[in-house]
């Protein structure tokens, strides 16, 4: 009984809460990203995502555990891809490009909205554990949203950026690349694990977030501090 009490007292509960908040933010970013893909594809005439139940806010439907883990560790990650059948599109390559663009666009809009709400709370709300938790969630939404949006714009198949860029290629080259893109995913994962994208993505994330903070009035330093709010929780 004493060992259980010692474990409970020694547990970093605020750190655990911060981790859970980060995971919740990552799940929301992933869900909105994939839902946007499916929604735009559906609006362009492809019912595939809708037919398999992917037009939903249920994160379990979109979850890739390894991609979620990478979001928590490296601030970049991915979800289970929404199925898209470009044969339904009136203009297949253009439709696929718009569908691909929808995911990163949703992430950037989510990040901007989160930064705006965080700025409002930061300037008017008292320093209270509840508001600290909310600011932690919003800060993680901003950072993870920008990170996921930028990562998916990398023009390497099967990321969204490749679908956008490859729409400019001749049809023969375009469909050849699509045929082999699943084999590139393994190489992409290795590059992420080796940190090949860390520096350029960190540089771009910093500048995008600075822009969002300038527009919304949220101090950049505060946004970064509240992203890992465990130390602030210790004050209460």
Annotated catalytic sites, by residue?
A: 34
Nearest to 202 by CA among 151, 156, 167: 151
Q: CA 99 to CA 102: how far, in whole Å?
A: 5
Q: CA 152 to CA 37: how far, in whole Å?
A: 12
Evaluate whether 86 touches 46 at the Cβ level (below 8 Å): yes
Backbone dihedral region for residue 53 (phi beyond 0: left; psi -120 to 50: alpha; all else: beta): left
Q: CA 102 to CA 96: how far, in whole Å?
A: 10
Alpha-helical runs (H) found in 125-219: 129-152, 160-166, 171-193, 198-216
Residues 6+ apart with CB under 8 A from 181: 157, 158, 162
Tokens of 27: 């799940």
Q: CA 228 to CA 139: how far, in whole Å?
A: 9
């Amino acid at each position: 009984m004493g060992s259980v009490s010692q474990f409970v007292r020694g547990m970093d509960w605020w750190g655990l809460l911060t981790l859970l908040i980060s995971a919740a933010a990552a799940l929301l970013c992933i869900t909105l990203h994939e839902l946007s893909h499916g929604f735009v594809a559906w609006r362009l005439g492809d019912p595939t995502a809708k037919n398999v139940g992917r037009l939903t806010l249920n994160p379990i439907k979109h979850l890739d555990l390894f991609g979620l883990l990478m979001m928590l560790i490296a601030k970049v990650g991915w979800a289970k891809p929404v199925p898209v059948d470009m044969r339904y599109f009136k203009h297949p390559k253009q439709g696929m490009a718009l569908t691909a663009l929808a995911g990163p666009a949703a992430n950037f809009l989510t990040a901007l909205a989160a930064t705006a709400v965080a700025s409002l709370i930061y300037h008017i709300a008292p320093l209270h554990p509840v508001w600290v938790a909310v600011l932690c969630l919003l800060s993680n939404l901003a950072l993870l949203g920008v990170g996921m949006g930028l990562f998916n714009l990398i023009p390497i198949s099967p990321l969204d950026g490749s679908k956008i860029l490859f729409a400019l290629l001749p049809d023969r080259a375009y469909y050849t690349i699509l045929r082999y893109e699943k084999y590139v995913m393994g190489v992409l994962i290795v590059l992420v694990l080796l940190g090949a994208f860390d520096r350029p993505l960190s540089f771009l994330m910093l500048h995008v977030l600075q822009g969002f903070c300038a527009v919304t009035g949220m101090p950049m330093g505060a946004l970064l501090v509240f992203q890992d709010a465990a130390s602030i929780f210790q004050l209460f």
